[in-house]
């Protein structure tokens, strides 16, 4: 029972006992019995009061100590890819700061390369967010579609490590055949040649700024849209990095024409990839480039008049589409072909997200910070080819 209520009961019992002791008729046996009963109840209530007060003191002390303890840091909130199921929990975290529902799960260009929309999201600015507060019944943003992240589809090798730079060993020589050896003649001395590829992480970041009013008033699934937008940017950035590395450090193969698809291009690429790498080989090119080849006809080509193969394959090899690969054109590297198991990816962390309610609180804004660190590297150039159109 509450200590205050116990004190009221004790006071009432004492008043009743006092009334019996000061009665004009004096104490009778009946009054003495009632008096003793009231005092007994007072003793019991006083013991209850002592217990209640002790409990309240201990509880207050514990709460005071708990308030002095530093907050337990939350685990990093990691998004692996767009469309993850924790999007609703992230949306709640963005809106309220409550991180209880978040769980760890796996962009922009570099600062000098980025093509960002350097703008805050507010109701007043119709270009970036003003259209998100609806006046009618429609409550969903129509989102653009972007290509998915290709590193997993291509089988890129994950490089483990700690710190900013990690070194990945690779075979830098040739597996020589055994040498015929006569009786009593010394064995042939041979050893593998091992190279080392350094993977140094580079940080990539994105910042989204939302006003309090927009978070409170929007009814267009804004937070789901922001999550999807960041996921699409993440996939685009990884694809740009992957393709840039392959086109820079793969092995060049000259294609048949300056600015057109020719029937010899695809078989030339396949022919130039060593057989030991062909088992998991894939093409990567723009979708428009792929269909330039699918449109070719003739007896020397895979398709005659009407394509009869799989749309996502050329000469039996899978095709992945990416806008990060240049188009067909003079001197351009318009396609990739190879075994992308020999491309490495060092990534740490995959993506981290911080909700900052303080730095722009004076402006009535919430800042969402996203960043990841990653680097791609070709491990064996002979396993990844790029087709280059001649200049003349």
The dotted CATH code for 77-388 is: 3.30.2400.10
pLDDT (tens place) for every residue of the chain, 392 residues total: 677 778 878 888 888 888 877 766 677 888 888 888 888 888 888 888 888 888 877 776 676 665 555 544 444 444 444 444 455 666 666 666 666 655 443 333 333 344 565 565 554 554 544 434 343 333 444 445 567 889 989 999 999 988 899 998 877 777 788 999 999 999 988 888 788 889 999 999 999 898 888 777 665 577 777 878 888 888 899 999 999 999 999 999 999 999 999 989 999 999 999 999 999 999 999 999 998 988 887 655 555 444 455 568 888 899 999 999 999 999 999 999 999 999 999 998 778 888 888 888 889 998 988 899 999 999 999 999 999 999 98
**pLDDT at position 24:** 61
**pLDDT at position 134:** 40
Enumerate the domain spans of the chain: 3-68, 77-388
**pLDDT at position 100:** 62
**pLDDT at position 186:** 92
C-alpha 59/C-alpha 254 separation (Å) is 79
Q: At what angle do helices 87-96 and 222-249 cross, to 10 degrees?
A: 120
C-alpha 242/C-alpha 361 separation (Å) is 38
Model's pTM, two decimal places?
A: 0.65
**pLDDT at position 244:** 96
- List the one residue out of 286, 267, 275, 265 whose CA is nearest residue 387: 265
């Amino acid at each position: 029972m509450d200590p205050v209520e116990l004190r009221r009961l004790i006071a009432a019992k004492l008043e009743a006992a006092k009334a019996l002791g000061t009665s004009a008729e004096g104490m009778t046996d009946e009054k003495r019995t009632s008096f003793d009963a009231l005092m007994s109840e007072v003793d019991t209530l006083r013991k209850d009061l002592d217990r209640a007060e002790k409990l309240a003191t201990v509880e207050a002390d514990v709460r005071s100590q708990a308030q002095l303890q530093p907050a337990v840091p939350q685990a990093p909130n990691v998004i692996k890819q767009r469309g993850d199921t924790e999007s609703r929990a992230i949306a709640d975290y963005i809106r309220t700061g409550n991180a209880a529902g978040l769980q760890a799960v796996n962009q922009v260009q570099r600062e000098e390369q980025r093509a960002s929309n350097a703008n805050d999201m507010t109701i007043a600015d119709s270009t970036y967010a003003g259209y998100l507060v609806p006046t009618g019944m429609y409550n969903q943003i129509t989102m653009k579609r972007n290509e998915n992240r290709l590193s997993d589809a291509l089988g890129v090798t994950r490089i483990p490590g700690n710190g900013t730079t990690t070194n990945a060993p690779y075979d830098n020589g040739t597996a020589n055949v055994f040498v015929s050896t006569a009786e009593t003649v010394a064995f042939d001395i041979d050893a593998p040649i091992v190279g080392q590829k350094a993977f140094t992480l580079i940080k990539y970041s994105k910042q989204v700024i939302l006003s309090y009013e927009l978070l409170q008033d929007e009814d267009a699934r804004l937070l789901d849209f922001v999550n999807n937008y960041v996921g699409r940017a993440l996939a685009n950035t990884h694809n740009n990095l992957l393709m840039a590395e392959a086109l820079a450090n793969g092995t060049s193969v000259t294609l048949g024409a300056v600015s057109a698809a020719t029937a010899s291009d695809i078989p030339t690429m396949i022919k130039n990839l060593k057989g030991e790498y062909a088992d998991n080989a894939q093409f990567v090119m723009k979708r428009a480039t792929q269909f330039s080849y699918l449109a070719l006809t003739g007896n020397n080509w895979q398709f005659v008049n009407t394509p009869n193969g799989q749309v996502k394959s050329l000469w039996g090899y899978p095709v992945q589409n990416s806008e990060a690969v240049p188009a067909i054109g003079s001197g351009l590297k318009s396609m990739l072909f190879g075994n992308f198991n020999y491309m490495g990816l060092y990534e740490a962390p995959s993506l981290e997200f911080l909700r900052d309610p303080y730095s722009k609180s004076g402006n009535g804004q919430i800042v969402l910070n996203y960043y990841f660190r990653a680097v791609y590297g070709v491990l064996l150039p002979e396993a990844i080819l790029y087709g280059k159109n001649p200049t003349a």
